[in-house]
Amino acid sequence: MQLLPKSLLTFSDLVQREWIDGSAINPELFASTIEILADEAISNGDDIGYPIHEALNWNASKWRTAWQSGRQQRPELFGALINTWNPLLEKSEVFQVKLSHPIIDSQKGKPRKYENPVNREQVGGFALVTHSIWQKVVDRYAIDLDCSNLPTSINFWDWVSQHPEIPIFICEGMKKACCLLSQGYVAIALSGITMGRVTDEHGVLSLQPYLAKFAIPERQVLFCFDAETKEKTKHNIFLATVRTGKLFVEAQCQVKVIQLPLLESTDKTGVDDFIVDRGVDTFERVYLEAVSLNTYAWHHHQAQQLTFKPSKSLHMKVVFQLDQYQIPDYIPQTGIVAIQSAKGTGKTKAIAAIVAGTDKLALLGHRVSLMFGIVSDRIVHFGIQSDIFFYFFVNLFHYFVLFKL
């Protein structure tokens, strides 16, 4: 092959700094997974090849001036080939390619970060793990194995598939997966957040085959997608997490969701950004606080809910004995109780009966006269003789708050 031109070396240096320094990726793992090439390669026999076009299954033209669907092979086009291990076919292949001159996405109107090979079924991102990274995984999970002398016939991902005690992280993009692998966590990359599942001709969802191989009962599967600020993107991440997560649950896996904090002055935070900024120990604490898929879904629905269904609906006239303190059985004894009914149905009397005999009381409401009325009724009917009251009227929210100490 011809000597690498200086511009290719510059592109190579840029990619290395982005992955190794910018995403805390082990240099050995980077070298084994990433291959940086020019789009025109001339062999010693003067044969011309177009490795980037070939990797992406593009139709290459023999002439540099000819365009094929807007794609032109030329010596000054460089690419970082991100390789993956196909656990089903048991061979390495190209996962994605990062181009030195990104192609503009016609729908989004902005450059695409990565290109996927065309006319190919979806593949997962399984980094080409070195023995040193393998040893980090072994050490993290206290498995008795010396990785320094393993035979080449043993593949890391085949070994992982046979060890359900090892948790698996699911993230978007090989860079994030390599960052986690560099810390000793086993991570599989998706080319997009929705790429973990497939729909058959009958509309039935199932896991992508390359994920199904690792969906072993009792294995812990952790989703670790980016923290986002855009509401639409956040909702898409939620849907992708829940829909793919349910398929792992059906396979009897223990599914959890890692909710990354958003770094200051950023509009999105990936796990590699977080580890570089806060360190792996801080990430470990966030990881240990991961919530179950059900809890994650419940929190999301609660945050989106505008109207709450009543936990108890009464279709009778309730008579409260105001001269005795007795809470009806259907009223919770602890927590926050919200009462909703029409005007004149006895809400104030109900509250008076419920709080009778209490030593401390806080009333919050936007109707100041009503708050004073409740206090007045309480003093009259229950003989509260106290001069220690604090009244606060907050103009911004127009809420009246009464504390009796």
In this structure, is residue 1 part of a structural domain?
Answer: no
SS3 365: strand
Residue 180 makes CB contacts below 8 A (sequence gap 6+) with 169, 171, 186, 187, 224, 271
The pairing of beta strand 220-223 with beta strand 254-257: parallel
Range with lowest mean pLDDT among 34-38, 53-57, 189-193, 235-239: 53-57
Question: If you average pLDDT over residues 320-347, what whole number do you get?
Answer: 65
- Shared-domain flag, residues 256 and 384: no
In this structure, is residue 196 part of a structural domain?
Answer: yes
In this structure, is residue 262 part of a structural domain?
Answer: yes
- Shared-domain flag, residues 334 and 250: no
Range with lowest mean pLDDT among 131-140, 280-289, 367-376: 367-376
Cβ burial 64-76 (10 Å sphere, 16+ → b, else e): eeeeeeebbbeee
Tell me what pLDDT residue 106 has. Answer: 84
Residue-by-residue DSSP string for 288-323: HT-EEHHHHHHHHHHHH-SSPPPS----SPPPP-TT
Range with lowest mean pLDDT among 25-29, 107-111, 296-300: 107-111
Query: What stretch of H or E contains 399?
Result: strand 399-404
Q: Which of 253, 272, 303 is the last residue of a domain?
A: 303
Total number of domains in the chain:
2
- Shared-domain flag, residues 33 and 157: yes
Residue 223 backbone dihedrals phi, psi, to 5 degrees: -85, 130
Note the pLDDT tens digit of each residue in 260-282.
Answer: 999 999 999 999 999 999 999 99
Tell me what pLDDT residue 74 has. Answer: 57
Range with lowest mean pLDDT among 29-38, 296-305, 367-376: 367-376
Q: Which of 262, 286, 303 is the last residue of a domain?
A: 303
Q: Which of 250, 281, 303 is the last residue of a domain?
A: 303
Q: Which residue has the tokens 């009806």?
A: 328
Distance CA(393)–CA(166), nearest Å, equals 56
The boundaries of the domain holding residue 336 are 312-405
Is the pLDDT at 37 greater than 80, yes or no? yes
Question: If you average pLDDT over residues 291-296, what whole number do you get?
Answer: 96
Tell me what pLDDT residue 75 has. Answer: 56
- Shared-domain flag, residues 294 and 343: no
- Shared-domain flag, residues 161 and 267: yes
Tell me what pLDDT residue 399 has. Answer: 39
Rg of the chain, C-alpha, whole Å: 31
SS3 151: coil
Percentage of the chain lying above the pLDDT 90 cut? 53
In contact, 119 and 30? CB cutoff 8 Å? no
Residue 371 backbone dihedrals phi, psi, to 5 degrees: -60, -45
Residue-by-residue DSSP string for 177-235: HHHHHHTT-EEEEESSTTTTEEE-TTS-EEE-HHHHTT--TT-EEEE-PPEE--HHHHH
**What CATH number is attached to the domain comprising 139?**
3.40.1360.10
What six digits make up the tokens of 198? 């497939």
Percentage of the chain lying above the pLDDT 70 cut? 72
301: left (phi over 0), alpha (psi -120 to 50) or beta: alpha
Kindly list the strands in the beta sheet with 389-394, ordered across the sheet, starting from the edge strand earlier in the chain. Answer: 361-365, 399-404, 389-394
Higher pLDDT, 117 or 5: 117
**Widest Cα–Cα separation across the chain:** 105
Range with lowest mean pLDDT among 43-52, 156-165, 174-183: 43-52
Q: Which residue has the tokens 């009724």?
A: 377
Identity of the amino acid at 386: S
The pairing of beta strand 361-365 with beta strand 268-269: unpaired
Residue 378 makes CB contacts below 8 A (sequence gap 6+) with 352, 355, 361, 384
Is the pLDDT at 322 greater than 50, yes or no? no
Q: State pTM to two decimals.
A: 0.74
What confidence tier does 236 reach under pLDDT thresholds 50, 70, 90? very high
In this structure, is residue 288 part of a structural domain?
Answer: yes
- Shared-domain flag, residues 266 and 214: yes
Distance CA(336)–CA(316), nearest Å, equals 23
Tell me what pLDDT residue 181 has. Answer: 98
Is the pLDDT at 68 greater than 50, yes or no? no
| Helix, strand, coil percentages for the chain (3-state, nearest 5) | 35, 20, 45
- Shared-domain flag, residues 296 and 370: no
Is the pLDDT at 3 greater than 90, yes or no? no
Is the pLDDT at 366 greater than 60, yes or no? yes
Strands (E), 11-117: 34-38, 41-42, 48-49, 78-86, 91-99
Question: If you average pLDDT over residues 126-130, what whole number do you get?
Answer: 96
Query: What stretch of H or E contains 53?
Result: helix 51-55
Question: If you average pLDDT over residues 201-215, what whole number do you get?
Answer: 93
Tell me what pLDDT residue 65 has. Answer: 42
